[in-house]
Amino acid sequence: MFKIASDLSSLLCELTAYLEQSNQDITFYIIGAFALELKGIKRPVMTVDIDLIREVENEELAQQINRIGERIGNESWMNLDAISIQLPDGISDRLELVEYNHRIKFRIPCREDMILLKVAAYCSRIRDSIKDKADLEALQVTRDEFEKGVSFYKKTIADLRGTPFEKECLENIEIARSSLGL
């Protein structure tokens, strides 16, 4: 079994027991903090959810995941919010397989894609996301990697061109660059 520092391990253990009992396996497609933890990146704060980029297609399994979350008071431990975000082009071809245990596997972004996504997340919510900054520091992002992340972020906000929000987004990039010492 894969070892992580997250409180999510007990929920995944319970899900594994269900999968074992029903003789099923699952592969989750994820991004975010839990993906970083699976890569062995040490984070200052444990995450409380898993950010899915694809829905769980098996309805019975999706209901079981919800029941596990409801029972412990964390209904969004399998978070679907990330399904709607723009992902880097070709990310599906670069997802890495992590075997959590004999029943659960995760497909997670490669380091390059994680950085693109983390830079975009940090720039988009800079005023309230010390976690994204800490994650980028833990990834030891170089200036070049950060600038690639900025290019990706600018693609995600392209529909904001000419709006007041575009100016704020561009200012956030400068704040992020400065706060990371790049």
Looking at the predicted structure, is the pLDDT value of residue 152 above 90?
yes
Taking a C-beta distance cutoff of 8 angstroms, is the pair 26, 56 a contact? yes
How far is the C-alpha of 131 from the C-alpha of 160, rounded, in Å?
25
| 142 or 124, which is more confident | 142
Q: Give the gyration radius of the chain's Cα atoms.
A: 17
- The pTM of this model reads 0.88
Q: Are 106 and 145 in contact (CB under 8 A)?
A: no
Note the pLDDT tens digit of each residue in 58-110. Answer: 999 999 999 999 888 888 899 888 888 899 999 999 999 999 999 999 999 99
- What confidence score (pLDDT) does residue 5 get? 47
β 26-31/50-52 pair status: antiparallel
Q: Record the tokens describing residue 131, joined without a space.
A: 């976690």
